[in-house]
């Protein structure tokens, strides 16, 4: 009985999990520079676009963990959504999507669709559609990576 409790509460596996999560997050290198939207549209390197996407979305994911969004969260989302839209357009461009099978462009377009929805919801400070749009954005990462990463 006592042994069982100790093994359930064993801090070592928990520590390892926390460490692994931290390392995974820290593992995505920073983009080489700060790109504005126009520069993102002209960026044709998948990996660099992904690094921008990840670092841009990180504050949005943090906001999304809150039980209720504040005005500051909608502001972050309003700032980020058009940038994600630009990234999705760069991904869908001939110069990037052309390097992959046709389906790649569809995933890029999905990302853009959810980014546009987030932009709209954040501008109107509407929480449920904003949450849905973030969910949609997150789902595209997995579905595209499964095939192409």
Comparison of 69 and 96: residue with beta carbon closer to ligand HEC? 96
> For residues 81 and 115, what is the distance between their CA atoms, to the nearest angstrom?
5
> For residues 118 and 131, what is the distance between their CA atoms, to the nearest angstrom?
8
E strand segments, 30-120: none
Using CB under 6 A as the binding rule, whether residue 119 contacts ligand HEC is answered as no
> For residues 106 and 141, what is the distance between their CA atoms, to the nearest angstrom?
12
Interaction residues for ligand HEC, span 28-87 (CB under 6 A): 28-29, 46-47, 50-51, 53-54, 57
Residues of this chain that bind ligand HEC (CB under 6 A): 28-29, 46-47, 50-51, 53-54, 57, 91, 104, 107-108, 111, 137, 140-141, 144-145, 148-149
């Amino acid at each position: 009985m006592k042994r069982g409790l100790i093994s359930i509460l064993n801090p070592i596996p928990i520590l390892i999990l926390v460490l692994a999560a931290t390392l995974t997050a820290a593992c995505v290198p920073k983009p080489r520079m700060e790109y504005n939207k126009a520069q993102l549209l002209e960026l044709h390197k998948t990996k660099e676009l992904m690094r921008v996407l990840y670092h841009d979305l990180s504050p949005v994911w943090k906001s999304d963990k809150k039980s209720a969004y504040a005005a500051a969260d909608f502001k972050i989302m309003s700032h980020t959504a058009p940038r994600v839209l630009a990234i999705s357009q760069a991904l869908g461009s001939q110069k990037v999507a052309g390097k992959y099978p046709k389906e790649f462009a569809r995933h890029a377009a999905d990302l853009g669709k959810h980014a546009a929805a987030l932009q709209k919801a954040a501008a109107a400070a509407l929480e449920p559609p904003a949450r849905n749009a973030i969910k949609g954005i997150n789902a595209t990462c997995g579905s595209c990576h499964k095939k192409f990463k």
